[in-house]
Amino acid sequence: MARPEVSKEQRQAKREAILAAARDIFAEKGFHAAGIADIAAKLDVGHGTIYRYFENKLDIFLTLYDALNEELLRIARGTHPETATCVEDYITEMQKFYAEFGGVFLREISHMRIFFDEVHADPEIRRRFDVSQVEFQKATERFLLIGRDKGFVRPELHIPSAARILNAMILDAMRASVQKESASNNLLLLAMTVIEIFTKGALAKKA
């Protein structure tokens, strides 16, 4: 029986070429409208070939989705509020997180559609989205809990709710930056406003 004619590395390289092409196609057309034929055409490869590297269309999508999701999760889990010795440090840590998270967003901006839009194209995609939301929630809760333990966060705040809300603000800021048309899609301004509201609230101080 013949040895595999291509090495593991070559196989992996091909998989990644397919993923790269698929990412563009999904970004452009969305999951449903994107066809295996489009991906194959972009690579100048027969569409049957795709099926030698991936189960099916969903498999490709989920691979892309998982990779993006993991990168974002890694960032969310990589904050270090425990090193903060004062509120200013704590806020700085939050800003650092925003900067890193936003950096990935801006890099992947044209592909974020697979993260926001196609969530419900398939039950399995939805399931993974829901799972990852829980993970993000946990990461943010951890950030807030440490802040509370250190006395930076008001103790009466309901942490799970606050975490959820903070995440919503973050994700929406990102989402806004994806929408070219929006009048308020300045990511920096949004991020600053999120932090401002989160830290100081929107209301004026009573005199």
Partner DNA sequence: TATGAATGAGACTTCATTCAT
Partner DNA sequence: GATGAATGAAGTCTCATTCAT
How far is residue 16's CA from residue 26's CA, in Å, rounded to a whole number?
15
* Residue 176 within binding range of DNA, rule CB under 7 A: no
How far is residue 44's CA from residue 111's CA, in Å, rounded to a whole number?
21
The smaller minimum CB distance to DNA, of residues 33 and 188, is found at 33
Structure tokens at 45: 């490869």
* Residue 6 within binding range of DNA, rule CB under 7 A: yes
How far is residue 51's CA from residue 139's CA, in Å, rounded to a whole number?
36
Structure tokens at 5: 């004619």
The amino acid that residue 145 corresponds to is: L
Shortest distance in whole angstroms from residue 75 CB to its own copies: 20
Shortest distance in whole angstroms from residue 35 CB to DNA: 3
Residue 19 site contact among DNA, its own copies, none (CB < 5 to 8 Å, cut-off depends on kind): none
How far is residue 139's CA from residue 44's CA, in Å, rounded to a whole number?
42
Task: Return the number of other C-beta atoms located less than 10 Å from residue 115's C-beta.
Answer: 21
What residues make contact with its own copies under the rule CB under 8 A? 1-2, 5, 30, 32, 44-46, 87, 113, 117-121, 130, 133-134, 137, 144, 151-155, 157-158, 160-169, 171-173, 176, 179, 181-184, 186, 189-190, 192-194, 196-206
How far is residue 68's CA from residue 65's CA, in Å, rounded to a whole number?
5
Residues of span 43-62 touching DNA by CB under 7 A: 44-49, 51-53, 56-58
* Residue 12 within binding range of DNA, rule CB under 7 A: no
Query: Which residues contribute to the site for DNA (CB under 7 A)?
Result: 1-6, 11, 14, 33-37, 40, 44-49, 51-53, 56-58
